[in-house]
Amino acid sequence: MAVAAPAASAAPIPAAAPVLALAGVGRAFGPVEVLFGIDFDLKPGEVHALIGDNGAGKSTMMKIMAGYLAPTKGRVLLDGAPVAFSSSEEAEERGVVLIHQEFNLARQLSVEQNIFLGRELKRGPFLDHRAMRETTLALLAELETPVDPAAIVADISVPEKQMVEIAKALSRKARVIIMDEPTAVLTRKEAEVLFRQIERLRAAGTAILYTSHKLDEVARLADRVTVLRDGRHVVTAPRGALSEDAMAEAMVGRELSHLFPLKVEPASGAPVLTVENFSVEGFAEDVSFTLARGEVLGFAGLVGSGRTELMEGLVGLRPAHGAVRLAGRPVRIRSVEEARRAGIAYLTEDRKERGLLLNLPMRPNLTLLALSRFGRFLIDRKAEELALDKAIAEFDIRAPLREIPVGNLSGGNQQKLLLAKTMLADPDIVIIDEPTRGIDIGTKQQIYGFVQRLAAAGKSIILVSSEMAEIIGLATRVCVMRAGRLAGTLSGADINEDAIVRLAMGLEARRANGNG
């Protein structure tokens, strides 16, 4: 997501003493050390960005600052005095709030109930529902998010859930707000609303720790930038001292001059997948397109355009109707298992809730889709371990321990495990939805390489992404969705940001039959 330059330069870094700091902080999980002697501080009225490769230690560091973890070495300082938060609730009471990248919301409760959970407003002995509703409406209005406070969180969109997380943090009147990838699931418009809130909070003296893999956002917002790599402090620099390229290279320890590999031209001949007049009720209507062997076919469009729902319909996750042919043979797919047997695999955009079992280790996560290959009545654990060995090597999955719950892996390593899990089923067609959401630039480069190697090996890829650069950088053709319909298909030199945006916004129609 491109971010425009700010209208005016941010205020200089305040000279005030830090409100929250780490002094020589280290953290180990059993014998494995993940943080080494970190010094870091947050000052009132500044945005301090924390960036680093997946696995650099950012999440561990933030959890220590917000009371979710205790350091094994060093001290946490609040207003210059050592503090040992017993829990995240105590940290919040002391004014330190973490906005989670993975939503920390009760899915079956309402928006209003989530915002006030554990801190309900009362009128005498009774809950003051009117006051909580009015406060919720005011918070959501600030964030330009027209969600009903009575709506159940499970029923609202992913961007709306993120805004509810932010509203919940704003309701705490925190002195320190720690933001973990807050725009990963937001549209450009929603992100701009958040940026205005950050400017308002900074002006009011709130200290903000901002973590993002979107380096244009970091360059725009941050008064200072700190880079971590492999659990160690690399550099802290003031605004403007590090270019985006310099930040990226400091994160990964190598030059990133070629982020996207060379495109692979698909094989000629009959398409491996033909979709005609395909509809998913309420989300997509009369969509037609083809997919060639070895092709990377991009699907672009604004959030809500129906891209994800269309793909979910194709693999049987949603009721759908229309003509689907594989290598010219008509098929009807009503479940993910039927899709798998037909040679189609879907890598979900939501790895946390739909892609992985976060409380289990890597081995059962890896083999779940292809479990029949490892035995019918008794599972061959040795074969599973060998498959995990191969996946770790092939997809460069980095974990301190093989038995660690995958929820404790970095986002990039979770995504690589999800890709390995998907490919273990040996599909001919792979649908990859938001492949690099919430992932650092170094791991993005790896995943782009994986995608192109799959295409070079003859696999056919459908790539759904909100990242314009990766659609342009990877796809040989691009289907652009708008309001549930295919607005047009682009190929060759026509694949550029201007053409995609024009189609996505309804300003132009081009080859809408999808055959490009």
pLDDT in tens, 468-509: 888 999 999 999 999 899 999 999 889 988 888 889 877 765
Domains 1-95+174-254 and 270-343+429-516 share a fold: yes
**323 beta partners:** 276
Residue 463 tokens, joined = 């790539």
pLDDT of residue 1: 42
Quote the CA–CA distance of 63 and 109 in Å, as a whole number: 25
Instruction: Please state which of the ranges 34-38, 124-128, 509-513 shows the lowest mean pLDDT.
Output: 509-513
Which DSSP string do the residues of 359-405 spell out, in sequence order? TS-HHHHHHSTTGGGG-SSS--HHHHHHHHHHHHHHHT---S-TTS-
pLDDT at 51 over 50: yes
Q: Tell me the pairing of strands 429-433 and 460-464.
A: parallel
Residue count of the chain, please give it. Answer: 516
3-class SS shares of the chain: helix, strand, coil, % to 5: 35, 25, 40
Q: Do the Cβ atoms of 368 and 387 come closer than 8 Å?
A: no
Q: Do the Cβ atoms of 333 and 344 come closer than 8 Å?
A: yes
Residue range 1-95+174-254 forms a domain whose CATH class is alpha beta
Q: What are the extents of the domains in the chain?
A: 1-95+174-254, 105-165, 270-343+429-516, 355-426
pLDDT of residue 103: 66
pLDDT band at 258, cuts 50/70/90?
Answer: low
pLDDT of residue 201: 87
Q: What is the mean pLDDT of residues 130-149?
A: 89
DSSP 371: G
270-343+429-516 classified as CATH 3.40.50.300: yes
Does an H or E element contain 252, and which? helix 244-252
Q: What is the mean pLDDT of residues 256-283?
A: 84
Quote the CA–CA distance of 98 and 88 in Å, as a whole number: 9
Average pLDDT value over all residues in the chain = 86
Residue with tokens 């890829």: 461
Backbone φ and ψ for 88, nearest 5 degrees, come out as -65, -30
Quote the CA–CA distance of 430 and 462 in Å, as a whole number: 6
Quote the CA–CA distance of 101 and 453 in Å, as a whole number: 30
pLDDT in tens, 291-334: 999 999 999 987 778 999 999 999 999 999 999 999 999 999 99
pLDDT band at 510, cuts 50/70/90?
Answer: low
pLDDT of residue 61: 94
